[in-house]
Structure formats: C-alpha cells, structure tokens
Structure 1
Amino acid sequence: MVDIISKRDGPRREDERARRMIQANQGAITQIADRLTQGAYSAGKRAKAAASNAPPPPDGKIFHDLTSGRAQTGTASGDIRVKVSVNNRVVAYDSGSGRQLHLLGEIRRQDDVRYFALASRENGFFSALPEDVTEAIGELDGQIIDDTCPESLLASEISERLGFQ
C-alpha cells in the first residue's frame, strides 16, 4: 500500500481563518498597538505610506534618516566637554544634548602600562579625526596614564588644547 501526499495549491484553511480574523479586528489591533507604543505604531505606518509616495532619490541612492523616529534628547547647549568613559574611550560631547561630537581616542593597555591612543588610522581606527583636532592634540598620542598623569588631567589637557574651557 502506498500513500501519496501532495501539496495543495493555495493557503491552508487555518491560515485563511487567521487572516480573516485579523482583517475583521484590524481597528482593535491598531488601537491596542497605539496604546502600547503611545501612538508610534500609527505614526510609523503614516511615515511609511508617505515615504512610499515620495519620488525616488536621484541616481538610485537610498538615504536613511536615523533620527526621524525618535525624540531629540535635548538641545545643543554649546557646552562641549571631554571625558574618559567607563570603557576607556576618550570622547568630546555636548553636555546639553549628550551627543558625542568626536571620538578622540582611547586608553589602551600594553605590558601593564596604560597610554592614550589618538583616533587615527595608524592606531587602528576606521576614521581619523579632523585635521584641526589632530594638530591640536596630536602630541598627546602615546601619553602614559599613571599617577602623575591621571585620566582627569588628560581630559582637561585635551579640553584646553581644543579650546573647550
């Protein structure tokens, strides 16, 4: 005896019932989704609909705006500070908005000696700093970080050289 199993054409009955149930309750589903996301669900659907109606970008290029879907954390205050983060990255940031302006480098360790590595291609960073920033703090590359020159002194020296104080 041989059983022949063949694939049916079209969707399964269970899938068709689920699709009909979702379509029938789409209003309630949208209302719950908006309540859970504080309106972001419908706003996202409207943004996608508006983007699909927009003309295609020139030369086939696709642009992504990563800030459109989220609120700004604050306004730019112009108060720029330098800090050494917990993961040993040395960054310049705007204290009003909290946004990072530059990754200046990082504190590295080699043979139990900690030193400052400037963000440059020579030190293994993907993108180098702007020329004016590199000129201002370039001689701090390789600066040993110890009791005589702690991280706080390095951060204040970089701030002073870049004119952030």
Structure 2
Amino acid sequence: MVEIFSKRDGPRREDVQVKRLIEQNRGVITKLADQLSNGRYSELRKPRPKPQAEGLIIHIGDSHKPEPHPEPRVRVTANGRVVAVDIESGRQLAHFGDIRDRKGTKVFILATSANGFIAPLEDDLVRLLADVDGVAIGSSYSNTELASDIGQRIDILPEM
C-alpha cells in the first residue's frame, strides 16, 4: 500500500491553531521571558538608534606604524634554492639561483635567462655574481660558504 501526501495551499490547520494560541498569550509569554532573563528579553526587542558617524573616516592598514625595512639574509633552502629572505617575515626577497646535480656533482647555477630561468636576475647582480656561476658544491666548498660568498658580494649577511 502506498500513501501519497500532497502539499495543500496555505498553512496546515495545526500551525494556524498554534500561531493563534501564541498570539493570544503574547503578554504572558513576554512577562515570563522577562522574569527569566531579568528584563533582558524586552530590552533586546526595543529598537535602538544606530550611531551616526560625524565625518568620513577611512583607515587603510595601520598608518601610525612606519613600514618595516626588510633585513635580508642569504639562505640555501632544503631543495637547493639560493635566496635572500627577510628574517622578520620569512618572505623571499630575491632568488639568486639553484644548486643542481650535473653529472654526479652539485653545481650552483646562477638565475640568468641563458641558464633557462624565467625570472632572471638584474644585470647588476649578474655582474657581481658571475664568478660563482657553475661552482661545484661539495666537501671543499659547502652550501654555507656559497651563501656567505654571495652575501659578501652583494653586502647581505648569510643566515646562520
């Protein structure tokens, strides 16, 4: 056996009866709600005037603080990228190149368009760092020494 319930137009008879009962006893319900909430129920239902602004005030960021100056450090990341980062925020400021594996030896590749980098270094930095391009990294010359050399050439301290 299948029963089909179809929706009628208008509210159900039970809903109409309950709404009428609530409206008839609105005063008693409000009095009980005020008694249980120490008057907070009626106070919350009162319309409150919205505060009006006296003038147009626009705040963009924190204009009272001066913009912090980045304090760069040269870092060799775990995946072989050689970058300059701000030590306060950790944000990358510059990408100098990558340490790549070439025929079994690790070699530093400078970030130039000739080496296939999409965002190459500026010409000034390329001239300063040209002699470290293609340097082999190993037991005689480590990642920290590479970071130190790059930092000395461009006057940035290496990260410790």
Bin of the TM-score, shorter chain as denominator length:
0.5 to 0.7
| 1:98 lines up with 2:103 in the alignment | no
Give how far 1:158 is off: 0.3
2:25 maps to: none
Between structures 1 and 2, the one with greater helix share: 1
Cα 1:76–1:115, aligned 2, differ >3 Å: closer, same or farther?
A: farther
| 1:164 lines up with 2:156 in the alignment | yes
Distance 1:149 1:130 in 2: 26
Q: 1:111 aligns with which of 94, 103, 115?
A: 103
Query: Which ranges in structure 2 are unaligned for 5 or more consecutive residues?
Result: 1-66
| CA-to-aligned-CA distance 1:22-59 (integer Å, 9 cap, x gap) | xxxxxxxxxxxxxxxxxxxxxxxxxxxxxxxxxxxxxx
Number of aligned residue pairs: 92
| 1:152 lines up with 2:117 in the alignment | no
Matches within 5 A, 1:50-69: none
Q: Any idea what SS the aligned residue of 2:131 has?
A: helix
Q: 2:74 aligns with which of 69, 82, 99?
A: 82
Distance 2:68 2:147 in 1: 21
Between the aligned residues of both structures, percent identity stands at 36
TM-score after normalising by structure 2? 0.54
In 2, are the aligned partners of 1:76 and 1:96 still within 8 Å (CA)? no
Larger relative contact order (C-alpha < 8 A, sep ≥ 6)?
2
2:123 maps to: 131
Q: Which amino acid aligns with 2:128?
A: A
TM-score after normalising by structure 1? 0.52
The Cα RMSD (Å) is 1.7
Q: Which amino acid aligns with 1:115?
A: V
Q: Any idea what SS the aligned residue of 1:147 has?
A: coil
